[in-house]
Amino acid sequence: MKPAPFAYHRPTTLDEAFELLERYGPDARILAGGQSLVPALNMRLATPSALIDINRLPGLDRIHLTSDGLVVGALARQDTVEHSPLVARHVPLIAQAMPHIGHLAIRARGTFGGSLALADPAAELPACVVALGATIRVAGRGRVREIPAAQFFRGIYTTALEPGEILTEVVVPPIHAGWRSAFDELARRHGDYALVGLAVHCRLSDGAVAEARLVFTGVGLTPVRAARAEAELAGRRPEPGVLAEAGRALEADLDPPSDIHASGALRRHLARVLLSRVLGRLLEPPHPPLSPDRGRGKDEGA
Amino acid sequence: MRGPDMDSLEISLTVNGVPVRRRVEPRQSLVDFLRYELELTGSHVGCEHGACGACTVRVDGALVRGCLMLAVQADGCRVETIEGVAGRGEIFDLQQAFAEENALQCGFCTPGMLLTAHEILRQNPRADEMEIRKALSGNYCRCTGYHAIVEAVRKVGAARSGATR
């Protein structure tokens, strides 16, 4: 199918983009990577009066280190993030999650910020930023807001972004010694949306789990943090019995929906499988040596 | 409602090395632009929602879905289609291996398969069968000729990595 007609604008400054957002109001849509929006246009699930293409806004694709942590620009392409030595070194959780997103050609075009702003509950990056305790920076005319990732996702395709605002960058706080992370998901075909995905970020101390953040995708309207399973792990060595107890605690943490792809019961079962698989991986030696940079990242100060 | 904003916009780009200037409607996809305006019909239109990969082209050196990019977004860009890439002989070895391994079948998915295979091997010429299968999972073959395609890509990868050793 083909999209319904729309006006097309390509601002070259943020101020110009804010003016356009004001001019068109809620009928306008921001076009970043377009890997979810354009299919919605093609199928006429979305019929906006205007597209505001932010791909040529300068500076929003930077990945750089600051005293606040690693800053990933909203327009950084997913494959750039995937191959970024800075991301691999400072945010291995995200480096692990990236290859699960779509396919080569999707990641070449899809953006880091676009995935967060869309807030698809089955997507990988929302779970990662929640697990990492990242901060989402958004800008509106004359103001900048910082929103903790855990408060950013409000519902299916719904975020804390207000009318007139644009997601500009994500700040991932520095990760201190002892913190380990892992990501995995179960999908029917590689690159498809996961039936269930899991981002784990935890601090190990003397072989025990001092703190754990377990964030699931595909099991609710937003990324879902498994608080009871986290409590089950706290202060304990991640041995098989402990993992099994944490898995049982998921019964109370998760109430996954049933849909055409899988029943809620199957999703809950898969969540348990993923939990023991991903946590089991954290028992292994520290992250394997990172493969040499394949030279495609746009990093600065690497 | 149609206003002046929705009318056509002028774009300039290079396609397979040739400068092109055209007026396009904002809603026209890049792949439709290539097929209908430039008569480059190697890139195919399959699912139109980014699942099948038949529309794959390269924009500024990166593999993209031609159905998920608007022609207006290619303004100022360097676009390469299967006609350009094959015409330069860049993927001659892949084309030959596809023929030898019987990986062509009906041919509808072939242009996207070839461009994707080329990118897989560019990123990692030593990609093993599982890596190739994973990366090709973004391209549908409706004849289900996957095994022959994977085998052709694997053979070319082995030859390319051997040749550059």
The nearest CA of chain B is from the CA of A24 a distance in Å of 12
pLDDT of residue A297: 44
Nearest in space to A119 (alpha carbons), one of A31, A35, A223, A190: A223
Q: For residue A298, what are its two tokens?
A: 């746009």
Pairing of strands A135-140, A69-73: unpaired
Query: Residues 6 or more apart from B71 whose CB is under 8 A from it?
Result: B11, B24, B28, B29, B30, B32, B33, B37
Neighbouring C-alpha atoms within 13 Å toward the C-beta of A3: 30
Contact B70 A34 (CB under 8 A): yes
Q: Residues of A with CB below 8 A from B139's CB?
A: 103
- pLDDT at position A170 over 50: yes
Q: Among A45, A103, A120, A189, pick the best mutation site for testing chain B contact (most B Cβ within 10 A).
A: A103
Cα dist from A19 to A25, A85, A159, B27, whole Å = 10, 36, 21, 22
pTM > 0.90: yes
Q: Is B153 within 8 Å of B136 (Cβ atoms)? A: yes
CB pairs under 8 A between A and B: 101
A35 touches chain B (CB under 8 A): yes
Q: Residues of B with CB below 8 A from A9's CB?
A: 5
- pLDDT at position A284 over 90: no
Q: What is the DSSP string of B80-128?
A: E-HHHHHHTTTTHHHHHHHHHTT--TTSSSHHHHHHHHHHHHHH-TT--
Residues B77-100 as b/e (b if ≥16 CB within 10 A, e otherwise) read bebbbbbbbbeeeebebbbebbee
Q: For residue A246, what are its two tokens?
A: 């944490």
Contact A6 B64 (CB under 8 A): no
**How far, in Å, CA of B144 to CA of B165, rounded?**
34
**How far, in Å, CA of A67 to CA of A69, rounded?**
5
Q: Among B48, B109, B129, B150, pick the best mutation site for testing chain A contact (most A Cβ within 10 A).
A: B48
Q: Where are the alpha helices (DSSP H) in chain A?
A: 14-24, 37-42, 78-82, 85-90, 92-97, 104-109, 112-118, 124-131, 149-152, 227-233, 240-253, 264-282
Q: For residue A89, what are its two tokens?
A: 């070194």
Q: Which pLDDT tens digit goes with each residue over A92-147?
A: 999 999 999 999 999 999 999 999 999 999 999 999 999 999 999 999 999 999 99
Partner residue opposite A42 with nearest CB, options B5, B26, B49 = B49
Residue B117 amino acid letter:
A
What ipTM is given for this predicted complex?
Answer: 0.93
**How far, in Å, CA of A61 to CA of B22, rounded?**
29
Q: Which pLDDT tens digit goes with each residue over B55-113?
A: 999 999 999 999 999 999 999 999 999 999 999 999 999 999 999 999 999 999 999 99
End-to-end alpha carbon distance in chain A: 44
pLDDT range class, residue A299, cuts 50, 70, 90:
low
Q: Which pLDDT tens digit goes with each residue over A38-79?
A: 999 999 999 999 999 999 999 999 999 999 999 999 999 999
| A291: helix, strand or coil | coil
Query: Residues 6 or more apart from B158 whose CB is under 8 A from it?
Result: none
- pLDDT at position A199 over 70: yes
Q: Residues of A with CB below 8 A from B133's CB?
A: 190
Query: Residues 6 or more apart from A106 whose CB is under 8 A from it?
Result: A35, A78, A191, B50, B65, B68, B138
Q: Residues of A with CB below 8 A from B62's CB?
A: 77, 79, 108-109
Q: Residues of B with CB below 8 A from A4's CB?
A: 27
Q: What is the DSSP string of A174-206?
A: PPPTTEEEEEEEE-SSTTSPPSEEEEEEEEEET
Residue B152 amino acid letter:
A
Average pLDDT over residues A270-290: 77
- pLDDT at position A253 over 50: yes
